[in-house]
């Protein structure tokens, strides 16, 4: 599993880890029942304090996304996909809404905003066609 942290972000590192793991579960990169790397292994990979990863795991566990498996470590829980997709859609919907509101307040009309959205989606579709993405996102 590939995680990328930004030490200069206003978002705490443990929250960045939890968010990226939720997005990976929502996309199908991490699946229910799959063993999650240990806090020690993940902290070594990211070169951060193991307690930071433990805090992210604690957050994910309290959200019902991961659970302990006796003698094995942490695994993705059965209900994690629905939880993570709901959280992903909510978070991204809010962020998209903020950008659309900013565009509206800057004087762009609905047609121009839609044109900009369509242009950006067309660029993304050239990079990774929707057919390839469907299996990865489950949407």
pLDDT in the model for residue 129: 66
Q: Are 61 and 25 in contact (CB under 8 A)?
A: no
pLDDT digits (tens, 9 = 90+) for 62-107: 999 999 999 899 999 999 999 999 999 999 999 999 999 999 999 9
The topology under which CATH files domain 13-80 is Arc Repressor Mutant, subunit A (1.10.10)
What pTM, to 2 d.p., does this model score? 0.81
22-63 confidence digits (pLDDT tens): 999 999 999 999 999 999 999 999 999 999 999 999 999 999
- Nearest-CA neighbor of 87 among 47, 126, 59, 111? 59
Domain regions of the chain by residue span: 13-80, 93-137
Q: Which residue has the tokens 């590192």?
A: 13
């Amino acid at each position: 599993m590939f995680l990328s942290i930004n030490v200069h972000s206003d978002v705490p590192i443990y929250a960045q880890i939890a968010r990226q793991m939720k997005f990976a579960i929502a996309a199908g990169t991490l699946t229910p029942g799959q063993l999650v790397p240990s806090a020690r292994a993940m902290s070594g990979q990211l070169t951060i304090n193991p307690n930071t990863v433990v805090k992210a795991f604690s957050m994910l566990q309290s959200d019902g996304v991961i659970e302990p498996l006796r003698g094995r470590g942490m695994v993705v829980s059965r209900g994690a996909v629905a939880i993570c997709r709901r959280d992903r859609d909510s978070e991204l919907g809010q962020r998209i809404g903020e950008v659309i509101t900013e565009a509206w307040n800057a004087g762009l009309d609905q047609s121009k905003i839609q044109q900009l959205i369509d242009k950006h989606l067309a660029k993304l579709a050239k990079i990774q066609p929707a057919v390839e993405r469907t299996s990865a996102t489950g949407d």
